[in-house]
Chain A
Amino acid sequence: DTEVTQTPKHLVMGMTNKKSLKCEQHMGHRAMYWYKQKAKKPPELMFVYSYEKLSINESVPSRFSPECPNSSLLNLHLHALQPEDSALYLCASSQVRRGSMNTEAFFGQGTRLTVV
């Protein structure tokens, strides 16, 4: 099973709302990622968790707050977003080998977020 599951698939939220995106994998992967993809652009890395610890934050604004409750789950909490944050948010996971290096990444179907 090489499946990464994201919910919801679509989300419309107002600028004063708080919402969360969820991601789950059962492949035993110890690295999990959030990416953001704007229309007609490649995905861009936001956050990386390795062994449930935040290891990379690519200077993402604090209105995006990641959380990794356990090795299978990854959340992205959203608060006070702007219309320019509208995008496809992709979750991914990968195995970690030799204790520290990632391998092949597998992506979820994404959450298409619209901020109004």
Chain B
Amino acid sequence: GIQVEQSPPDLILQEGANSTLRCNFSDSVNNLQWFHQNPWGQLINLFYIPSGTKQNGRLSATTVATERYSLLYISSSQTTDSGVYFCAVDRGDYKLSFGAGTTVTVRA
């Protein structure tokens, strides 16, 4: 299957700070998603972004498919941004593969 690497594994931020999370993947993909998993386990869809750039409020994402990486930007972080952020990819073959995640802690 496709290998997915996320960095950094852990990130501690002061409220109001900006940050960048990275996702590298080992092969060409048809689908790429960013999720935020909250403390209750819910996986919340942030972006569906197999290529290009998207923005949603304080969050934005960029995928450079030819170079096999994606970036998630968090600006003006808030305590509610805390949680685990997952990148997941597949080839359109139903086998969505997840990276190990980045655990973000935002301190007030």
Contacts and interface: CB of A to CB of B under 8 A. Distances in A.
B31 A109 contact: no
Contact of B48 (A55, A100, A104): A104
Contacts of B43: 43, 90, 107
Interface string B33-47: 101000011110100
Interface residues of A, number: 28
A42 B101 contact: yes
A31 B30 CA distance: 16
Interface stretch (B51-59, B64-72, B74-82, B86-94): B86-94
B87 to A, nearest CB: 10
Most A C-beta atoms less than 10 A away, residue of B90, B94, B100: B94
A45 B86 contact: no
A102 B90 contact: yes
A64 interface: no
B99 A56 contact: no
Contacts of B101: 42
A54 B33 CA distance: 24
Nearest to B45: A106
A104 B96 CA distance: 10
Contact of B41 (A55, A92, A110): A110
Contacts of A109: 40-42
Interface of B: 30-31, 33, 35, 40-43, 45, 48, 86, 88, 90, 92-101
Interface of A: 2, 31, 33, 37, 41-45, 48, 50, 55-56, 88, 90, 92, 94, 100-107, 109-110, 112
